[in-house]
Structure 1
Amino acid sequence: MSPAPETPESRAVEDGVLHHLSVSQLRRFALCERAWFFSKVLRLPERPSKAREVGTSTHAQLEHYLRTGEDVLGPIAAAGKHLLPAPGVDLLVEEHFGQPSPLFADGVPLAGYIDLVNPRRLAEGVLRVTDHKTTSSIARYAATPEQFASAAHDAGIQMVGYGYWAVLAAERFPGLKRLELEHLYFQTRGAREARSVVATISAEHVRNEWLAHIEPLARRMRDVARATSPNQVKPSWSACQKYGGCSFQAQCLNAQSQGKPPMSLVNRLTKSATSTMPSAPAPTPAPAAPEQELAAVLPPDAPKSDPALASAPASDEAPRRKRRTKAEMEAARGLSLFVDCVPNCPAEPLAGYVGRMAAKIEQECGVVDIRVAPNDSPLAYGKWKGVLAATIRAEPPEPGTYAALGVAGSELMQVAVEALEPLCGAGHFVRGVR
């Protein structure tokens, strides 16, 4: 894979030395250290995203309107026009941190831009700092004031950083006592709507949050910047499906299979069984179904065995599971799925396949998101789950090894995993221990 184009942001790390940071880097690192490593140390390009393109376009419209007063707002941005301040030259739009920047973390300068700084209430000691957010669902994804007032939270890293920058730029904002940190959300799917979420905090609060949470984070980033391989950097599987899914899932999974990776669940079970094997021959027990054999060691969230099977009278036949169709039997050949754990061999992220299946249903049903389909849609009221499961069973992924990571944070992945489990042959479906 070719490196990403050279930009000042992409050269944040050179020769293992951290030269500068941004709040977006801090957020990404806190979310997943390995994703940051792929992006800023190895400088791998991220895949194009329609959601990112919509966000960029909406931000450009808002910037032009606030700078000039010319109404170029499209339907998404126009839904929040009543929440915007009146355009004027006193507004600081796409405000740069400055050169040199007053903001540092562990001695590393931070660069960046803020969507909007509104000083119109500065005479009262109040400064409003706004970040424009585009999201498919405000109800589902909007942060709370408590979350982005704390640098211990993903959203708070960005807003506390913006607030602390304003505190440090004291000569530009004299008399500053309180900060109004605002997320202004614009919904991109379904009904056009917007929402303002504001946290009002003191200048002292942002200073304390920065010192308590961001300074240690930056020190950890220095260590990770010196790593020479993704294997040396900790991944966060819970982040794999956030914000549209990580662009580096394939590289991340294959990095695990190089060198000396963590032992997968299958290997742990095999090793455990080998180490506890008795030295003297033991009577050979009656054959048991694979599901019964693993029941004692699978995690609590594994499917439970049917009590009726355990109490059934002995017979020459193994206990029967639900009969699979011929198509399902064919699909089971060569399909292995690892859920929230990593195999010791190259694997493909399941997320790409699941996204394609969801997109296919959205196109056929004429909806923008199967999870928020209108009430008159056959997908409404949770029916999309059955449709997605049926589509996956009818068109399973190509034979191969797949990894489903971050399943707990994605309803789409949860449905897909449940649908694919019966299609995997015995021993080819492995769920990680949480």
Structure 2
Amino acid sequence: MDAQSSQQPESPRRRAVDGGVINFLSVSQLKQFSLCPRRWYFAKVLRLPEPETKAQALGVEGHAQLEHYLRTGEDVLGDIARAGRHLLPTPGADLLVEESFGTPSPLSADGIPFVGHIDLINPRRLADGVLRVTDHKFSSNVARYGATPAQLVDASTESGLQMVGYGTWAALSDARFPGVRVLELEHLYFQTRGARHAESVLARTSTEHVTREWTEKVVPMVRRMREVARATRSADAPPNFGACEKFGGCPFKAKCLSGGPTVSLMNRLILKPQTPDAAAQLPLAPPPANAPTASLGTCDRCGATLTPENTSKLRSGDVLHVSCPGAEVAAVLPPDAPAASPTIATDAAPKRRGRKPKATAAPGDHRESPSGPPAATSPQDERLRLFVDCVPNMPAASLAEYVSKVASQVSEAGGVEDLRFAGAESALGFGKWKGALAMAIRGAPPAPGAYAALGLAHSELLQIAVEALEPLCGPGDFVRGAR
């Protein structure tokens, strides 16, 4: 466990990152940065508070028990820590417990010193050139989350970043550990849920190996950390959206995804709520200046020109015309509809009536104040009604137009011409555009009113939109036609 593992606030005179300059680092910061650079930026550059979780509190308590036992021999171990007592060395004054890196620290990368503490160093076999370095881990499921010996000696893994750092520190501390040639890097796991269980994961390696791993893998990472530390916006810190739910969830997830003082790719996907006029006038994202202008041809049924905005590419490779008037679409009336056959309106949903109430925000408060209901608005205007593959018995706007415009904005935010064809290098690649589009739609749904989604089977964009909007519809406001 290193110095940054605790939740104690940093001294104002000794901040890890101050003014974009990294003063010192710890191996836990390396792990945090490798997990998500933006999370590290929030925690260490912006110094936003991180609430202590129950799992962290349990680990702090367990570490304190082990430290006391190894220093004094007094058995103060709780049920969780006692399960691994047989794996601990006999307590004694020769053991180095919670050993500090020292001042000045022999461990550095790209000129930045590292600070920290190591849970346990056992020098009892140093005469044979062997030194054991142990880190105590408290995990809810050892079999699932425990590292492997190969990972402990590989600095490209989370576990290896920590243990390679500890091993390199020991290798550089030749005055304290003379003659050390072999390092035994150990994770000693204590299971916190279910049956009480402890397990030792041990890897033997050379001092040359850990120093080489540190030089080749950690030093370049520290250089990237320097660049991120100089960023003036969190949007410039690369995110890893695949890590949002790891280890109990990122404490900065809401700020990262929904705005805060900065704007990121995901922030731009959460569009501002649109009035009917704004939705109708929402501009399409212009293609890049050097983008190819290859034609998609014309529709075989209606003869309309096919564009990225009115087509959908299926898994089979076929390109279909969305909402083609010549396509056969199941269109049935809802069960409770009167005998009427109105046409679907192509204009935006009707405007809300009545004047907007005056804002009541306090002076200096720049947040948007929630507005009350307009003075003369019918209940129907305040509801989002969705008719999927069926013709409603009321004027309704085309949902496809709204979806096309939102998809254009998501494409623009992701830096691609069409989000469905985002390459692997894009933030929308590997199908991530689907989640981004759904999030953008949920963040800025269409204005209240009735919408018809026809031709659902032929448009993946519409399918995603309908799935995202269904939970926003009230009882009886989501009607799906017979298939």
The 1:120/1:279 distance shift into structure 2, 3 A limit, reads: closer
User: Would you say 1:191 and 2:195 are equivalent positions?
Assistant: yes
The 1:15/1:401 distance shift into structure 2, 3 A limit, reads: same
The 1:343/1:229 distance shift into structure 2, 3 A limit, reads: farther
Query: Which consecutive residues of structure 1, in runs of 5 or more, have no partner in the other structure?
Result: 287-292, 301-311, 320-329, 346-398, 403-419, 429-434
Residue 120 of structure 2: SS of its match in structure 1? Answer: strand
1:58 match? 62
The 1:297/1:32 distance shift into structure 2, 3 A limit, reads: farther
Q: Residues of 1 paired with 2:263 and 2:163: CA distance?
A: 39
Indicate the percent of aligned positions where both proteins have the same amino acid: 51
| Structure 1 vs Structure 2 CA RMSD | 4.3
1:123 match? 127
User: Would you say 1:89 and 2:93 are equivalent positions?
Assistant: yes
Q: Residues of 2 paired with 1:107 and 1:96: CA distance?
A: 19
1:317 match? 332
Q: Residues of 2 paired with 1:331 and 1:192: CA distance?
A: 52
Q: Residues of 2 paired with 1:196 and 1:280: CA distance?
A: 64
1:110 match? 114
User: Would you say 1:232 and 2:243 are equivalent positions?
Assistant: no
Q: Aligned residues, how many?
A: 322
Alignment of 1:136-215 (within 5 A): 136-215=140-219
Residue 180 of structure 1: SS of its match in structure 2? Answer: strand
Deviations 1:318-352 (A, max 9, x none): 99xxxxxxxxxx9999xxxx9xxx9999xxxxxxx
2:245 match? 241
The 1:21/1:318 distance shift into structure 2, 3 A limit, reads: farther
Amino acid at match of 1:317: V
Alignment of 1:382-401 (within 5 A): 401=443
The 1:56/1:299 distance shift into structure 2, 3 A limit, reads: farther
Q: Residues of 1 paired with 2:49 and 2:270: CA distance?
A: 31
Deviations 1:172-229 (A, max 9, x none): 1111010000000000000100000001000100010000001101111111111111
Q: Residues of 1 paired with 2:261 and 2:315: CA distance?
A: 23
Give the CA deviation at 1:47: 2.2
Q: Residues of 2 paired with 1:199 and 1:9: CA distance?
A: 38
Q: Which has the higher contact order (CA 8 A, sep 6+)?
A: 1
Amino acid at match of 1:229: R
2:72 match? 68
The 1:189/1:260 distance shift into structure 2, 3 A limit, reads: closer
TM-score between both structures, scaled by the size of structure 2? 0.58
Q: Is the 8 A contact 1:331 1:423 kept in 2?
A: no
Deviations 1:18-50 (A, max 9, x none): 100000011111111100000000000112300
User: Would you say 1:16 and 2:20 are equivalent positions?
Assistant: yes
Deviations 1:229-279 (A, max 9, x none): 10111001121122111111011113489547466499xxx7499x98989
1:26 match? 30
Q: Residues of 2 paired with 1:211 and 1:343: CA distance?
A: 39
Q: Is the 8 A contact 2:256 2:264 kept in 1?
A: no
Residue of 222, 247, 254 corresponding to 1:218: 222
Amino acid at match of 2:58: V
Give the CA deviation at 1:5: 3.8
The 1:144/1:70 distance shift into structure 2, 3 A limit, reads: same
Residue 44 of structure 1: SS of its match in structure 2? Answer: coil
Residue 132 of structure 1: SS of its match in structure 2? Answer: strand
Residue 44 of structure 2: SS of its match in structure 1? Answer: helix
TM-score between both structures, scaled by the size of structure 1? 0.65
Q: Residues of 2 paired with 1:167 and 1:280: CA distance?
A: 67
Q: Residues of 2 paired with 1:50 and 1:272: CA distance?
A: 49
1:357 match? none
Alignment of 1:286-301 (within 5 A): 296=313
Q: Is the 8 A contact 1:264 1:344 kept in 2?
A: no
Q: Residues of 1 paired with 2:116 and 2:202: CA distance?
A: 21
1:41 match? 45
Q: Residues of 2 paired with 1:425 and 1:131: CA distance?
A: 48
The 1:344/1:277 distance shift into structure 2, 3 A limit, reads: closer
Q: Residues of 2 paired with 1:150 and 1:123: CA distance?
A: 26
Residue 133 of structure 1: SS of its match in structure 2? Answer: strand
Q: Residues of 1 paired with 2:165 and 2:156: CA distance?
A: 12
Q: Is the 8 A contact 2:153 2:164 kept in 1?
A: yes
Of stretches 254-263 and 159-168 in structure 1, the one that deviates more from structure 2 is 254-263
